[in-house]
Amino acid sequence: MITSIRYHPLIERDTDAHKYAPLFVTTDEAAVRRAHSYYLEEFVNGYYRLCAGKARALPDGGRMTIACPVCGNRLENITAGKHTPTQALYVCRACNN
């Protein structure tokens, strides 16, 4: 178990395909929010919430492909299809099975 929330700033790898990959891990959300457009909040070990930093507005989480910070596999959007998805939640099936 983790005792503090971890943050994973995202870098855009492919604009057309909406592919994103995490850069590093930190517990300093304020710094991440200032410096990066989007980031993942790891609120429970292995579960990630998509957040907007300096981009201000959330992207369409359903269109984004995000790599797992641990193993690099594609994260699965577990909020896809829900109504008013203000913040998309992701989980890595490879790490959590």
Alpha-carbon span 73 to 71, nearest angstrom? 6
Q: Which stretch binds Zn ion (CB under 5 A): 16-24, 33-41, 77-85, 88-96?
A: 88-96
Query: If binding is defined by CB under 5 A, does position 71 make contact with Zn ion?
Result: yes
Tokens 């992207």 belong to 59
Q: Among residues 89 and 92, whose Cβ is nearest to Zn ion?
A: 92
Q: Could you tell me which residues come within 8 angstroms of residue 52 by beta carbon, excluding any fewer than 6 positions away?
A: 37, 38, 58, 59
3-state secondary structure of 29: helix
Nearer to Zn ion, 78 or 94 (CB): 94
- Residue 68 touching Zn ion (CB under 5 A): yes
Residues of this chain that bind Zn ion (CB under 5 A): 68, 70-71, 92, 94-95
